[in-house]
Amino acid sequence: MLNNLSLRKKILLLIGGTITILLLIASTFFVNHIAKLSRVNIEREAQSYLQSEQLSMQSYFAIYGKVVATFINNPHLVNFFTAWDKRDQALENANGYLAINQDFVRISANDENILSAFFASATTGEYFKENERTAYYNGEPYYAYKRGWWQEAMQINKLYVGPISVDLTTGDASAVVQQPVYNPQGKLIGVGGVDLQLNKINDMVENIRFNGQGYGFLLDDQQKVVHFSKASGHKLSITDEGPNGKDGLDALEQQFNNTSGFKTLNSAMQNNLAGSQTVMLKGEQFYVVYNRLQLEQPHLNWYVGLLIPTSMIEAPVNAAVTTTTTAVIIILVIILAMILWATHMISKPITTLTHIMRDIASGEGDLTQKINIDSQDEVGQLANHMNTFIDKLRAMMLDTAAQAEQLSAAADQLKTVSQQTNSEIQKFSKKNNK
CATH number at residue 269: 3.30.450.20
For residue 347, being part of any structural domain is answered with no
Q: Quick one: CA torsion of 239, 240, 242, 247, rounded to 10 degrees? A: 70
| pLDDT of 193 | 95
29 vs 295, more confident: 295
For residue 159, being part of any structural domain is answered with yes
Segment 11-70, tens digit of pLDDT: 767 777 787 788 778 777 877 777 777 778 888 898 999 999 999 999 999 999 999 999
Select the highest-mean-pLDDT range: 69-73, 315-319, 333-337: 69-73
H/E element, 225: strand 225-228
pLDDT at residue 169 tops 80 = no
Q: Read off the pLDDT of each residue in 235-241 and give the average, rounded to a whole number.
A: 79
pLDDT at residue 367 tops 70 = no
pLDDT at residue 5 tops 70 = no
pLDDT above 90 coverage of the chain, percent? 47
32 contacts: CB under 8 Å, gap ≥ 6:
none
For residue 269, being part of any structural domain is answered with yes
pLDDT grade for 391, boundaries at 50, 70 and 90: confident
Which of 200, 229, 261 lies at the terminal end of a domain, its last residue? 200
Phi/psi of residue 170, nearest 5 degrees = -105, -20
For residue 88, being part of any structural domain is answered with yes
**Pair (111, 80) in one structural domain:** yes
For residue 415, being part of any structural domain is answered with no
Residue 307: closest CA among 337, 330, 285: 285
| pLDDT of 362 | 66
Which of 251, 286, 310 lies at the terminal end of a domain, its last residue? 310
**Pair (195, 94) in one structural domain:** yes
Ranking 41-45, 138-142, 221-225, 419-423 by mean pLDDT, the lowest is 419-423
pLDDT above 70 coverage of the chain, percent? 88
Which of 179, 200, 221 lies at the terminal end of a domain, its last residue? 200
Domain carrying residue 34: 30-63+209-310
374 vs 275, more confident: 275
Domain count, the chain: 2
Provide the CA 347 distance to its chain's centre, in angstroms: 49
User: What are the Cα distances from residue 35, in Å, to 38, 204, 289, 315?
Assistant: 5, 32, 19, 11
Omega before residue 243 within 30° of 0, cis: no
**Pair (249, 288) in one structural domain:** yes
For residue 405, being part of any structural domain is answered with no
**Pair (73, 179) in one structural domain:** yes
Segment 336-351, tens digit of pLDDT: 788 778 777 777 777 7
Q: Read off the pLDDT of each residue in 105-109 and give the average, rounded to a whole number.
A: 92
Contact of 195 with 116, CB cutoff 8 Å: yes
**Pair (238, 217) in one structural domain:** yes
pLDDT grade for 157, boundaries at 50, 70 and 90: very high
pLDDT grade for 173, boundaries at 50, 70 and 90: confident
43 contacts: CB under 8 Å, gap ≥ 6:
276, 287, 289, 313
**33 class by beta-carbon count within 10 Å (0-12 exposed, 13-18 middle, 19+ buried):** exposed
| pLDDT of 340 | 78
170 vs 80, more confident: 80
| pLDDT of 315 | 74
pLDDT at residue 154 tops 80 = yes
For residue 40, being part of any structural domain is answered with yes
Instruction: State how far the Cα of 338 lies from the Cα of 341, in Å rounded to an integer.
Output: 5
**Pair (278, 300) in one structural domain:** yes
What's the start-to-end Cα distance of the chain, in Å?
87
pTM: 0.70
| pLDDT of 176 | 92
**Pair (186, 72) in one structural domain:** yes
Three-state SS string across 257-318, please? CCCECHHHHHHHHHHCCEEEEEEEECCEEEEEEEEEEEEECCEEEEEEEEEEEHHHHHHHHH
3-state secondary structure of 246: coil
For residue 123, being part of any structural domain is answered with yes
Instruction: State how far the Cα of 408 lies from the Cα of 432, in Å rounded to an integer.
Output: 36
Q: Read off the pLDDT of each residue in 294-318 and give the average, rounded to a whole number.
A: 88
Segment 403-422, tens digit of pLDDT: 878 887 777 787 787 777 77
338 vs 213, more confident: 213
pLDDT at residue 430 tops 90 = no
Ranking 44-58, 73-87, 147-161, 241-255 by mean pLDDT, the lowest is 241-255
